[in-house]
Amino acid sequence: MRIAIFNQKGGVGKTTTALNLGAALNRSGNSPLLLDLDPQGHLSSIHGKAPVEANRSLFAFYQDIRNLSELEIAWDHIGHLIPAHQQLIKVDSIFGKGPAILNKLRNGLEALEATNDRPTLIDCCPYIGVLALNAIFACDCLVIPISTDYLSLQAADHITRTLQVLEPVLKRRIERRYLLTRFDRRRRMSDDVRSKLRERYGDDVLDTVISENVSVAESPSLNQDVYRHNASSSGAHDHTTLLHELVERGDLNITLK
């Protein structure tokens, strides 16, 4: 099963969710594959030892130089990563927007899964272009992190409108889950944003919220997920709860150990 993590708003917790949901999966006995589909390469830099050459990154897959299976590298305590490269920024201009390029990632992942089926998490860039469309077209479920502030509500409406435009092209509903991040229970705004999101998107809003947590913020600079940094933190607890909810809802078809 493939989950893409996308919001065109920057800094809402996409990479944080990919990292820590990946670690939660690993701890549940389901080692995932993580794809860094963001030219900024934040997820790859958290890995700490990801190759720096473009021809060992997802860019080589888009250039048809390598298959996805040739690009994966091991990630201790998580699973595997296919790293990004800043050249990915060129994918839009080089490869255009035809149907072949829009389905490229989906086809590549299907070929990979034929021999190695595991949960896949795709960390997206903060804008809609060929890369994000590739992730949306490839995924079974889209997780949309929403940082808990008022501007994020506008961003949620924006992405929802984008999905409504894409659905007739895809000829199916794009399953989506809105995930509140950086939630601060002491602020009235947090509950307010959650209520407004629920009014608009009902059951597509996850019950799980990811609280503002210092261990979540610190761990990337140590090249660690939140469990390795502080397994007893609220951040670790929240990501375990997120995994359980996604499994209960059938968004991840796995057995938890």
Ligand X SMILES: Nc1ncnc2c1ncn2[C@@H]1O[C@H](COP(=O)(O)OP(=O)(O)OP(=O)(O)O)[C@@H](O)[C@H]1O
Taking CB under 5 A as the criterion, the residue among 9, 14, 85, 182 binding Mg ion is: 14
Residue type present at position 225:
D
In the window 19-78, what residues touch Mg ion (CB under 5 A)?
A: 42
Shortest Cβ 168–Mg ion spacing (Å):
29
Q: Smaller CB distance to ligand X: residue 40 or 103?
A: 40
Bridge partners of 181?
Answer: 147
Residue 182 as a binder of Mg ion (CB under 5 A): the answer is no
* Partner that binds at residue 12, options ligand X, Mg ion, none, CB closer than 5 to 8 Å by kind: ligand X
Residue 15 as a binder of Mg ion (CB under 5 A): the answer is yes
**Nearest to Mg ion by Cβ — which residue?**
15
Shortest Cβ 50–Mg ion spacing (Å):
14
Q: Smaller CB distance to ligand X: residue 21 or 112?
A: 21
Q: Smaller CB distance to Mg ion: residue 42 or 118?
A: 42
Q: Smaller CB distance to Mg ion: residue 28 or 105?
A: 105
* 92: its two tokens: 């839009």
Contact (CB, 8 A) for 157 and 38: no
For every residue of 150-192, DSSP letters joined together read: HHHHHHHHHHHHHHHHHHHHHTS---EEEEEEEE-TT-HHHHH
* Partner that binds at residue 134, options Mg ion, ligand X, none, CB closer than 5 to 8 Å by kind: none
Per-residue DSSP letter, 122: E
Shortest Cβ 221–ligand X spacing (Å):
8
Binding site for ligand X (CB under 6 A): 10-16, 38, 40, 42, 126, 181-182, 210, 212-213, 216-217, 220, 235
Shortest Cβ 40–Mg ion spacing (Å):
6
Contact (CB, 8 A) for 197 and 205: yes
Q: Smaller CB distance to ligand X: residue 83 or 112?
A: 83
* Distance in angstroms (rounded) separating the CA atoms of residues 58 and 39: 10
Task: Give the binding-site size for Mg ion (rule: CB under 5 A).
Answer: 3
Burial class (CB in 10 A: 0-12, 13-18, 19+), 188: exposed
Shortest Cβ 124–ligand X spacing (Å):
8
* Partner that binds at residue 10, options ligand X, Mg ion, none, CB closer than 5 to 8 Å by kind: ligand X
Burial class (CB in 10 A: 0-12, 13-18, 19+), 87: middle
Across the chain, the runs of DSSP E, i.e. the strands, are 2-5, 33-37, 73-75, 79-82, 120-124, 141-147, 176-183, 205-211
Residue type present at position 160:
T
* Partner that binds at residue 210, options ligand X, Mg ion, none, CB closer than 5 to 8 Å by kind: ligand X
Contacts of 188 (CB under 8 A, 6+ apart): none
Q: Smaller CB distance to ligand X: residue 12 or 163?
A: 12
Tell me which residues touch Mg ion (CB under 5 A).
Answer: 14-15, 42
